Structure 1
Amino acid sequence: MADSGDKSHIYYGAIQLEGLQDRGKADKDQDIDKDEGEDILMEDAAAGAAAGGGEEGEHEMELSEAAQESIAKHQRTMQAFSQQQRAKAIAAPTQDMDVRKMLRQLGEPITLFGEGPGERRQRLKELLAKMEEEDPDALTALLGQHLAPPPPASALPAAGGQSISKPPSALVPGAAAREPVVPTSIEEQTSVFYTEGSDALKQARIKIAQYSVPAAASRLRRERLLRSKLDPLEYEESLRDYQTHLQSFSVSVSQVGDDRPLTGGSFAPNDEYLATCSWAGLVKLWRLPSCDAAWTFRCHTDRLHGVAWHPAYKGGTEGGRAPANIHIASGGADMKVMLWRVPEDGHEPGTVAEPAHTLEGHEDRINRVAFHPSGLYVGSTSHDLTWRLWDIHTRQELLLQEGHARGVYPICFHPDGSLAVTGDLGGAIWVWDMRTGKTVLPLKGHVKQVLSIDFNPRGCFELATASDDHTVRIWDLRKRKSVHTLLAHTKLVSDCKYEPRRGRFLLTSSYDCFAKLWHPTDWKCSKTLAGHEARIMAADISNSGSMIATVSFDRTWKLWTTAGEWTGMDIEHLVD
């Protein structure tokens, strides 16, 4: 191997040092020329830009129409996003009636086709955000008219060591003023608050507790006695035989109820009458079992949606027909609850033109009415997002309960009188403690409006709810969840009722023109009642369980009866 001197590489084969050195020098010169060329181009571009650019500079800096449109679209998106952020920060009213008033004041339509309360409030907030950008002072003045500042926390007593603020609007009963309040500090937003109720409400809660505690104790004693004397297998066999008996239900009478569609029907506690209500604004009483028209109550000026009997009604002329002689409650689109007296026996059937009392306070149509089991109070639900409790003796509104985000539709009281359950047109169900005013729990599961609620009298811990999602859900209040879902009908389920005595079957009615009877444990359909030509609006079961009434949009109501009396095991004699 030849000596390469200071070279750091070892070459194999022929060594041509001079050729290799010439090739390396040429490559190095080429790299230098390339770098210098790039520097010259960059200097020329910078000089062209500084001088305003020639033809070629202008061609490089000009944006295409697509790029300009993309930039404009991005700017519009960012502007809309900024406006949405401002809208979120604005304290707009939460009550739908207040939202409508503010929209009217702004000169905007109070409602658009197909627009719900939530969408309407969002539209208002977007208008206020735009107004804030254009004229902040006008926005401040407008909000000052609708949103009152909260009173100082020192005006209220402390509870549990925490400061208490008192906004007029709260989910706790007894609110007198209901305008929303703008929180002024984080402490105020997180502090405990309540709305002080009236003394009449306090006394009503005490009376409800005094009624419900003994009623619950009596029911539990009865259940324990039945459990000790009743063989479960024997009871299940009897229940199966009873489902066979239900298959004998058939139409006994079909009666035209009114000139306009019927909306509700309810049996009297003694099965003497059936009360129906209609879009004509009339409540009619039909004598059973002949189904002859007995009395017509005429005073409502708009469509009726609910009718209910006082639980203590006994009929006849004997005393104790009902406290304060109130027998029927009705409510409708005229925003009034009317209390009626049934004329005593001996009077010729006819028309009653004046109610015993009229209860006013709702701000939108009334959907349902129901008497408390104690017979001292009546509850009503409304499209104004509230349900209310009234004293039938003093005709005073004891409770205005907020909390629902959509119109409140069904209401049902626990048989002991301790709880109230309400549902709304958004699918939400709330359970309320009547003795404390607290929300016990929400029941979530329905995806559309809830239209009917009923307690199972056996155990009183089971709850059935009917919905526009074509299902009936069975809830166990002990487990705080839905334990069964009935795919009951092919259209909206309008009503659901348990057999009043022992809950031996569940009745459902629907807009698919059918009513169905269901086994209460395995939830098989025992009988389908077909005969109406239009959607069934409501249904009810007599206290004896031997009669069923269905009222329909076809203006007729039908009475369904069994072929004979039930001759199987009657568990009632075990506790008599």
Structure 2
Amino acid sequence: MGDDQVYFGSLEHSINDGGARLDNAILSGNVNISTVESETLELAQASVEEQERHAETLRELEVKRRERSLTVPTDDGEVKLQLRALGHPICLFGEREADRRNRLRTLLARIEVDSDEHAKIKELLGNLENSSKRMRRDSTSVVGKKLRKDTFYTVAGKSLVKARRAIADFSWKHTTTRLKQQRQTQQDPDKLLEQEERILDLEDQFKTMTVYASQVGDRRPLSCCEFGGGGDQNIIGTGSFSGVGAIWERESCSKVCALHGHEDRIVDLCFRDDRAGENTLMVTASADETAKLWKVPSSKEEFETLKANSVKSMECEEQGGGEDPASEQANNEKDPEVPRVDPIGTFKGHAQRLSQISWHPIGNYVGTSSYDHTWRLWDVETTTEILLQEGHSYPVYAFAFHGDGSLALSGDLRGVTRLWDLRSGKSIDTLRGHVTQTLCADFSIDGYHVATGSGDHTARVWDLRQRRCLHVIPGHASLVSQTRFDKVTGCTLATSSFDGTCKLWTTSNLKLLSTLEAHDNKIMDMAISKTADTIMTCSYDRTWKFWGVSAYA
């Protein structure tokens, strides 16, 4: 056992012996034990704040670490459902799908780090995910059993049958008249020569176009513009991201009235062609899932009457106490000293934001396209939906009516463009060629040419008789926002783009006539007057501009 020693004795003796040694050490001063109650001092405010900042930094690091390990849904609908279940807004201003998904991931990570009810919230999200999976499984089984892959038709209502008959009568008369005029022109050498001279004169006119007027249209970017009443009235219309439209006097470029009614940005607008003795009507489409009908002034007498009525109403409001100061101040900030016009009708039915709107040539119907994968036909008199047309698997964006009223064109964000016979309700052709989304379309007055613009930076000219693409115009450095034929000869095509330019082309040989460039940002929309003497463009830089023949040409 070596040098180890074993001691024997009682425990009490050992404890007493240890206590005696401790007492001797205290007496000698080698051990100090205070019997006085100790005092604890509080930290300074700066130290407390520093500790809180340090704790917050550690918390944020932990949140970011948890974010990297979290899995969130990729479907935007499920992301919105989870945000709603957690009591948070499903969408913030300017937020896109990826931003919303990141917000959900951060929110869940913070809940894991901070919340004491983490288990309860996890159970709630689990139940939500299970119900979502069950809904998808049920919908998949229903699609597998009931979805028909062939063409099918639904029974038309009385209002749709009435509309089809009216459209058929209208289109047959106008088609007969147009074809008769074209035959007479082709058979008469003098008329043919006159037409060629008119085409050359118009080309020379387009070559010398420059900016002759520019106006700030709104406090936010402009989204659309159009000449009033077919292009020969003294008014123009604009729409903006603020959700407020405006009517302008064409000669003075002054604002006549402001159109208030939409809750989100205006994406498109269209005037009804002039009718003798009838009111000037305009429709607007918005991202708030609605379209609205407006009665707008079109003559100087109506301008003065509207202004006088506006002054009287303001005087009555001042005498009667007026409206709420906050709302009044907001209206004045939007359109100071400009009469306000309210809509006379609202078209409701689309499940998602609208894309474009077009007035049927007959004047009694309006067509709208939407992100809900459908386009719809509306009765203007009753503001009711008479046709819901499916057929696209992606959001429908481009939309236009044929000049005779017989056809409608719809283009989706996959690049598929369809032609529809409004008299029978059939899809008669599919125009395929664009690599990505079809964003705009316009029919020529000759009746058989149509132009489309796309996100693939090209415009295409199609021949409806040959059912093929005639020309591809790769003339822009960004997406094509609008395509327009002139309404005089139909032989000149204008294209506008997000590259900030508007270009004019001949449709026969794709010769570039002119490049209109003056905007500081992307061109959102473009329109040509009925006489083709003026082109109007509106831009993201909040301005609209008039282009015309230079006085020095």
Smaller-chain TM-score bracket: 0.5 to 0.7
Aligned to 1:271: 233
> How far apart are residue 415 of structure 1 and its match?
0.4
* CA contact 1:494–1:511 (8 Å) conserved in 2: yes
Counterpart residue type for residue 214 of structure 1: K
User: Higher Cα Rg: structure 1 or 2?
Assistant: 1
* CA contact 1:443–1:481 (8 Å) conserved in 2: yes
1:453 matched to 2:413: no
Residue number among 242, 245, 249 corresponding to 1:287 in the alignment: 249
Aligned to 1:363: 351
Flag the 1:181–1:206 CA change in 2: closer, same or farther, 3 A.
Answer: farther
More moved, 391-400 vs 197-206: 197-206
Deviations 1:520-561 (A, max 9, x none): 211111111111010000100011111110000000000111
Residue number among 215, 218, 240 corresponding to 2:174 in the alignment: 215
Unaligned runs of 5+ in 1: 1-95, 116-137, 150-179, 567-576
> How far apart are residue 348 of structure 1 and its match?
3.9
Deviations 1:280-309 (A, max 9, x none): 111111101221111110111111100100
> How far apart are residue 112 of structure 1 and its match?
5.8
> How far apart are residue 97 of structure 1 and its match?
9.7
Counterpart residue type for residue 299 of structure 1: G
> How far apart are residue 395 of structure 1 and its match?
1.2
Aligned to 1:335: 289
**3-state SS of 2:363 partner:** coil
1:251 matched to 2:211: yes
> How far apart are residue 321 of structure 1 and its match?
3.2
Aligned to 1:321: 279
Q: What TM-score results when the alignment is normalised by the length of structure 1?
A: 0.65
* CA contact 2:368–2:375 (8 Å) conserved in 1: yes
> How far apart are residue 354 of structure 1 and its match?
2.1
Residue number among 408, 414, 421 corresponding to 1:420 in the alignment: 408
Number of residue pairs matched?
A: 408
Distance 1:295 1:530 in 2: 29
1:467 matched to 2:454: yes
Residue number among 126, 134, 139 corresponding to 1:142 in the alignment: 134
Residue number among 325, 347, 354 corresponding to 2:305 in the alignment: 347
Flag the 1:266–1:143 CA change in 2: closer, same or farther, 3 A.
Answer: same
> How far apart are residue 219 of structure 1 and its match?
1.0
Deviations 1:401-447 (A, max 9, x none): 11112211111100010000011111110100101110011000000
* CA contact 2:208–2:550 (8 Å) conserved in 1: yes
Residue number among 375, 384, 403 corresponding to 1:396 in the alignment: 384
1:443 matched to 2:401: no
1:524 matched to 2:511: yes
* CA contact 1:271–1:542 (8 Å) conserved in 2: no
Counterpart residue type for residue 387 of structure 1: W
Residue number among 376, 380, 385 corresponding to 2:368 in the alignment: 380
* CA contact 2:524–2:539 (8 Å) conserved in 1: yes
Counterpart residue type for residue 552 of structure 1: S
Aligned to 1:194: 153
Counterpart residue type for residue 225 of structure 1: Q
Distance 1:450 1:304 in 2: 19
Residue number among 297, 302, 305 corresponding to 2:264 in the alignment: 302
Counterpart residue type for residue 341 of structure 1: K
Distance 2:477 2:149 in 1: 46
Deviations 1:378-421 (A, max 9, x none): 01111111111100011110111111122111111000100000
Q: What TM-score results when the alignment is normalised by the length of structure 2?
A: 0.68
1:408 matched to 2:362: no
**3-state SS of 1:215 partner:** helix
1:533 matched to 2:520: yes
> How far apart are residue 563 of structure 1 and its match?
3.6
* CA contact 1:546–1:565 (8 Å) conserved in 2: no
**3-state SS of 2:175 partner:** helix
Percent identity between the aligned chains? 35
Distance 1:140 1:539 in 2: 44
Counterpart residue type for residue 388 of structure 1: R
**3-state SS of 1:454 partner:** strand
Distance 1:311 1:146 in 2: 49
Aligned to 1:508: 495
> How far apart are residue 252 of structure 1 and its match?
1.0
**3-state SS of 1:291 partner:** coil
Flag the 1:189–1:564 CA change in 2: closer, same or farther, 3 A.
Answer: same
Aligned to 1:430: 418
* CA contact 1:271–1:543 (8 Å) conserved in 2: no
Counterpart residue type for residue 305 of structure 2: H
Which structure carries more helix by proportion?
Answer: 2
**3-state SS of 2:381 partner:** coil
Aligned to 2:273: 311
* CA contact 2:491–2:508 (8 Å) conserved in 1: no
Counterpart residue type for residue 292 of structure 1: S
Aligned to 1:261: 221
Flag the 1:310–1:100 CA change in 2: closer, same or farther, 3 A.
Answer: farther
Distance 2:453 2:534 in 1: 21
